């Protein structure tokens, strides 16, 4: 059975049954809940919320099919502000909850809102397994390089030397690179954007929504209370063009206000170079042409290492490849078992305390 053959659901919420209307046009307003948004004034989470609420109605999917799952942290208040189904789960366990939901109801669009502390620390194990399994969920990881909800401790993505309440003399940890971690776990869609770059963020979210399988999007998000201007080098108008390179499939990696710099492959590393003003076309041809669909994640892993100082931050889609989703494999296996007369999963789960699984025609155990 393919993923498109599941019957149209009727979603129950208490005594109310919501039947999706495919021909009903949706707007941003339809995805806004009646809850007061309670983040600190100026927080980057507002921009991310706005982007998501603008993109989801464009997808042509009834909002009753969306579920937003979160863990613990500032970002994890996200389900309250989305007028969709939602689940505010426990610290770091959003991927596990979302996986169970996608297996039970594969026709739903399951999105995860998480932070660098929630997903990279206590939730690290759950994150890598949802990525390697390629469960059809979309993961938005808000990275502000700090623990915001618990008032400013350093996080797994904080830079070395970071002075916080828990590292008063500076962090001595080597931080996680979330994109490199995702690629190493076998993620099939990996991307990065910035909270305040709304057009870029929205396009990245659209791409993630279209992907079949796990889509992992790291979003640089400013915490103006505990880690203000952590990404100022690439959000301030005066410096951002020199500090960011946009990954566009099939296009050369050029950056700078005049696109006067490029990224090329030298040996086993990527390096920045100056385009020769005397012969810009020939010089620019030396730039690496980006391929997000490459079978090997090697170049994507190198792009994840493009970080300051000295190199621009890579933004956009690093990798987008197809692989069978976990839920489709589980469902196919269940149907194969049932077709072979080995019983039904529902029967096993609802009858008796123990059971024996055997091949058809095999003699019962004595």
Residue (of 64, 69, 7) closest to 31 by Cα position: 64
Q: Does a structural domain hold residue 158?
A: yes
Q: Does a structural domain hold residue 39?
A: yes
Q: Does a structural domain hold residue 32?
A: yes
Residue (of 98, 138, 147, 97) closest to 118 by Cα position: 147
- Mean pLDDT for the chain? 89
**φ, ψ for residue 13, nearest 5 deg:** -140, 100
Residue 346 pLDDT level (bands cut at 50, 70, 90): confident
- Considering its fold, how many domains does the chain have in total? 1
Q: What is the DSSP annotation of 245-308?
A: EEE-TTSB-EESTTS-EEEEEETTEEEEEE--TTSHHHHHTTSPBP-TT-SSSHHHHHHHT--S
CATH code, domain carrying 46: 3.40.50.970
Contacts 24+ apart (CB under 8 A), 342-351: none
**Residue 18: predicted pLDDT:** 44
Overall average pLDDT of the 131-151 stretch: 95
Three-class secondary structure of residue 354 per DSSP: coil
What are the tens digits of pLDDT across the range 299-340? 999 999 999 888 999 999 999 999 999 999 999 988 888 888
Q: Does a structural domain hold residue 358?
A: no
- The reply to whether omega before 213 is within 30° of 0 (cis) is no
pLDDT greater than 60 at residue 208? yes
**Residue 347: predicted pLDDT:** 77
Through-space distance between the first and last CA atoms of the chain, rounded to whole angstroms: 37
Sheet holding 269-274, edge to edge: 254-255, 261-266, 269-274
Q: Does a structural domain hold residue 347?
A: no
Residue 362 pLDDT level (bands cut at 50, 70, 90): low
Residue 361 pLDDT level (bands cut at 50, 70, 90): low
Six token digits for residue 228 = 């203000």
Q: Does a structural domain hold residue 53?
A: yes
What are the tens digits of pLDDT across the range 71-113? 999 999 999 999 999 999 999 999 999 999 999 999 999 999 9
Residues spanned by the domain of 315 = 3-254+289-327
The percentage of the chain sitting over the pLDDT mark of 70, rounded to a whole number, equals: 90
For the beta carbon of residue 173, count every other beta carbon within 10 angstroms. 14
Q: Do residues 202 and 193 touch, judged by C-beta distance below 8 A?
A: no
Q: Cα angle vertex 308, ends 118, 115, to 5°?
A: 10
Query: What crossing angle do the helices spanning 45-55 and 198-210 adopt, rounded to 10°?
Result: 50
Size of the chain in residues: 366
Overall average pLDDT of the 171-198 stretch: 96
For the beta carbon of residue 149, count every other beta carbon within 10 angstroms. 16
What are the tens digits of pLDDT across the range 6-53? 333 333 333 333 444 555 789 999 999 999 999 999 999 999 999 999
């Amino acid at each position: 059975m393919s993923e498109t053959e599941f019957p149209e659901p009727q979603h129950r919420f208490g005594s109310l049954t919501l039947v999706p209307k495919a021909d009903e046009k949706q707007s941003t307003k339809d995805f806004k809940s009646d809850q007061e948004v309670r983040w600190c004034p100026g927080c980057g989470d507002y921009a991310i919320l706005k982007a998501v609420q603008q993109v989801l109605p464009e997808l042509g999917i009834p909002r009753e099919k969306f579920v937003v799952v979160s863990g613990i942290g500032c970002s994890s208040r996200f389900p309250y502000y989305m007028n969709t189904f939602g689940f505010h789960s426990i610290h770091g366990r959003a991927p596990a909850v979302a996986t169970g939901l996608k297996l039970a109801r594969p026709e739903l669009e399951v999105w995860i809102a998480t932070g660098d502390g929630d997903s990279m620390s206590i939730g690290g194990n759950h994150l890598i397994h949802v990525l390697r399994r390629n469960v059809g969920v979309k993961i938005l990881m808000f990275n502000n390089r700090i623990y915001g909800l618990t008032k400013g401790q350093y996080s797994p993505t904080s830079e070395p030397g970071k002075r916080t309440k828990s590292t008063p003399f500076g962090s001595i940890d080597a931080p996680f690179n979330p994109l490199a971690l995702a690629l190493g776990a076998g993620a099939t869609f990996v991307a990065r954007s910035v909270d305040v770059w709304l057009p870029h963020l929205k396009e990245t979210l659209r791409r993630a929504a279209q992907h079949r399988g796990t889509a992992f999007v790291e979003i640089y998000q400013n915490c103006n209370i505990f880690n203000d201007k952590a990404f100022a080098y690439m959000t301030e108008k005066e410096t951002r063009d020199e500090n960011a390179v946009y990954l566009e499939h099939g296009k050369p990696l050029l950056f700078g206000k005049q696109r006067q710099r490029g990224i090329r492959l030298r040996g086993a590393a990527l390096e920045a170079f100056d385009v020769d003003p005397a012969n810009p076309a020939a010089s620019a041809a030396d730039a690496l042409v980006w391929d997000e669909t490459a079978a090997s994640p090697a170049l994507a892993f190198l792009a994840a290492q493009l970080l300051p100082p000295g190199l621009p931050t890579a933004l956009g889609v690093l990798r987008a490849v197809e692989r069978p989703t976990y839920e489709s494999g589980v469902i196919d296996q269940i149907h194969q078992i049932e077709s072979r007369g080995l019983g039904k999963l529902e029967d096993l789960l609802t009858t008796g305390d123990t059971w024996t699984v055997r091949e058809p025609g095999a003699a019962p155990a004595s």
